[in-house]
Amino acid sequence: MVFKPVVTKKEIVLEKKVKGLSWNRVLLMPKEAPNRVETVWDKIKEVNIDITEIVSMFEIKVENLNINFYSIFLKLKLILILKFRLQSLWLQTKTQINLQK
């Protein structure tokens, strides 16, 4: 029989988006595997964690998001107008240079 490392804990799915908490999943050989070396993880006792407390501490909260879409629209409009004016000036300059040659 071939023994491979196995996942021992189920994946935790949170109901809200939280700040980036990163960890590496540890895969261990089954205890029944021959020649299995005892690891530090065998000696650690699991602690019950309150997932709702973790979510409340690390939740990404969007606070008072005031977006003035009209001002964004006006800024984009101004950018487009400036872009077309610059293109027009560039074409005029290019034409004048070609006429002088």
Q: What is the pTM of this model?
A: 0.42
User: What would the pLDDT profile of 31-58 be if each residue is shown by its tens digit?
Assistant: 888 888 888 888 888 888 888 898 888 8
Residue 83, pLDDT score:
92
| Residue among 45, 52, 5, 1 nearest 24 (CA) | 5
Low-confidence ranges of the chain (pLDDT < 50): none
Contacts by residues 26-31 (CB-CB < 8 Å, ≥ 24 positions apart): 29/3, 29/4, 29/5, 30/3, 30/6
Residue 100 is which amino acid?
Q
Between CA 47 and CA 49 the distance in angstroms is 6
Asked if residues 40 and 26 have their Cβ atoms less than 8 Å apart, the reply is no
